[in-house]
Structure 1
Amino acid sequence: MHIPRLSFPLLMTIVNTARCGMPQGIRDRINGACYRWEEDYH
């Protein structure tokens, strides 16, 4: 799926806003999953 470059910052803003609206436990789980993904693939 190709995301136009202009919409990417907007997408990230939406994701961050949604993440801030989540309960802390869910946010920690998402952050942990993102961190593990970065550890595995970078």
Structure 2
Amino acid sequence: AVIMSAEEYRQIKLERLRARLAMGEIQLDRGEGIDGRTFFKELREGKR
């Protein structure tokens, strides 16, 4: 099992959120539709 501090966990989570946001921005730039409800559900569940 990997043990990490609360701060390490928070940093990893922030990095994942930033990566997902960047992906969303790229999709918008390409004119691809984004379902806002699905997007926020994925963020809450920690997907991607």
Give TM-score, length-normalised by structure 1.
0.49
**RCO higher in structure (CA 8 A, sep ≥6):** 2
Give TM-score, length-normalised by structure 2.
0.44
- Of Structure 1 and Structure 2, the greater helix share is in 1
- Larger Rg computed on CA atoms: 2
